Structure 1
Amino acid sequence: MKILKTTLLALFCLLVYTHANAHALWIETATLGKKGTLHDVKVYYGEFALNERDAPEKWYSDVKEFTLWLVAPDGKKTKLETKAGGTHYTSSFTPENDGVYTLMVSHEAAELGGTTKYHFISSAQVAVGKSTKVNADLNTNSLKVYAANQEIFGKGKSIKLYAQLNGQPLANKVVNIASPEGWSKGFTTDAEGAFEFAPLWSGRYVAEAENYEKAAGTHNGKTFDAAWIGSTFSFEVK
């Protein structure tokens, strides 16, 4: 009986881990904005490649209590208000200056998945005016994926993305790319945390980097022995 209970507990923990790990948090917003014009933002949770967007009441643990931050080109950081919709949260902001704006979410789930702590991260960028150069330092998320320039990329043309963990290149790790057609593929980063691919379809894509490591500690009064971080970055292809 003891062996059976242990086996069932292990299976339960695996199911919790698989469910949380398969899902991700991501931000959708138009790549280009206009100074003085309201710019809409949406935050989703689910599986982008499968076109699954969960209703907020079904989000894992307390992930729906995330905070959405906006960082202006000059580094000014503002907390944006969010409102629950049918399958997402909505928000908006009005750019006051030209440059690249950064949207960020970083939320550690209150509940553990078995003995694993989960950290959901997402970022997106909006270019306003002629300047499209990205200052990656303005994105303070511990794990991030980004492009050197914020632009609408071209179908069939090579795109270079970078991944960083705690300010250092996320080297020799697989970053998954999901397309609007349901296609998904992993690409391994080089020593600089960079990788390239050529999109086959137009539409919105989501890149997701992960990091899993053994790390003992306590979280909300419960002991964990591993930590998982998942970070997404969405972009447009025409």
Structure 2
Amino acid sequence: MKKLTLNTVYLTLLLSLLAFSAQAHALWIHTSSNTEIGKTHDFKVYYADYHENAIEALADWYSDVEDFELWLISPSGKKTKLETKAKEDHFEGSFAVEEKGEYQLQISHTAKVLKGTTAYQFNAYAQVWSGKGKKVSKQQRDLSLSRKQKSSSFQVNYKGNALADASINVLGPDKENKEILTGKKGKAKATMERKGKYFAEVTYTDQLNAGDPSGLKAIWRCATQVIEVE
């Protein structure tokens, strides 16, 4: 029987902690839900685990997560890649509001696999409304978490289709954590009565077939959205 040295045990523990960190943390887009035509709308992107009150410095972000691409979808369906500026613990940027209706900010980044047979995909969304108008047209994407304007009802889709029996974790401003389950149409309603920020997150794991060309056994996906109730 092969003996494990102290260094081997330490390395195994470290890799396990890295994998756990990737699952516990997620990308989050912070921005106001409301804006007006003619204004410049600001946003920030964090890599954090709000259950542990942990916001990571850029130097500590997992794998190549900092290489994410952030896309803006306008009410007319125009898709624009947004530029971001790196700060100590987040990225920030802005966009010009030129149309009436719903804007959506989207991130979908699969991190480079450091070790093991599981890939981690981070999806983050933010919905911004400039009055009433067109909704964002359906975009082909992996795992998404969205809602209607001024609504606490969430919609979970996977590759464009409603995802039933998905567990949405909602952390409220009072640090109380609640889980809600989607129905057959991928919908679930949360209770967000108190003022402050709510952090909603859903996860889904793809178990891949044996012998998949990627060499992976699974893809862990998460989708997040920050809602600020005023």
TM surpasses 0.5: yes
Find the residue that maps to 2:192 and give its secondary structure: coil
Structure 2 runs not aligned, ≥5 long: none
Cα-to-partner distance string for 1:71-103 (whole Å, 9 max, x where unaligned): 111111001100111221001001111110010
Q: Residue 66 of structure 1 corresponds to which residue in structure 2?
A: 68
Q: Residue 144 of structure 2 corresponds to which residue in structure 1?
A: 144
Matched, 1:224 2:224: no
Q: Residue 156 of structure 1 corresponds to which residue in structure 2?
A: none
Match among 177, 184, 190 for residue 184 of structure 1? 177
Contact 2:75 2:137 (8 Å CA) reproduced: no
Alignment partners' CA distance in 2, 1:109 and 1:94 = 29
Match among 229, 233, 237 for residue 229 of structure 2? 237
Find the residue that maps to 1:137 and give its secondary structure: coil
Match among 124, 127, 131 for residue 125 of structure 1? 127
Contact 1:16 1:113 (8 Å CA) reproduced: no
Alignment partners' CA distance in 2, 1:233 and 1:136 = 18
Q: TM-score, normalised by structure 2?
A: 0.89
Contact 2:45 2:92 (8 Å CA) reproduced: yes
Contact 1:70 1:102 (8 Å CA) reproduced: yes
4+ residue runs over 6 A deviation: none
Contact 2:141 2:160 (8 Å CA) reproduced: no
Letter in structure 2 aligned against 1:93: F
Contact 2:106 2:125 (8 Å CA) reproduced: yes
Find the residue that maps to 2:37 and give its secondary structure: coil
Of all paired residues, the percent bearing the same amino acid is 38
Alignment partners' CA distance in 2, 1:136 and 1:163 = 15
- Relative to 1, partners in 2 of residues 1:42 and 1:227: Cα closer, same or farther, differing over 3 Å? same
Alignment partners' CA distance in 2, 1:59 and 1:137 = 30
Deviation at 1:180, TM superposition (A): 2.6
Cα-to-partner distance string for 1:201-233 (whole Å, 9 max, x where unaligned): 2112121111112215455xxx32111011111
Find the residue that maps to 2:216 and give its secondary structure: strand
Deviation at 1:49, TM superposition (A): 3.1
Q: In angstroms, what is the RMSD of aligned CA positions?
A: 2.1
Contact 1:49 1:183 (8 Å CA) reproduced: no
Contact 2:74 2:136 (8 Å CA) reproduced: no
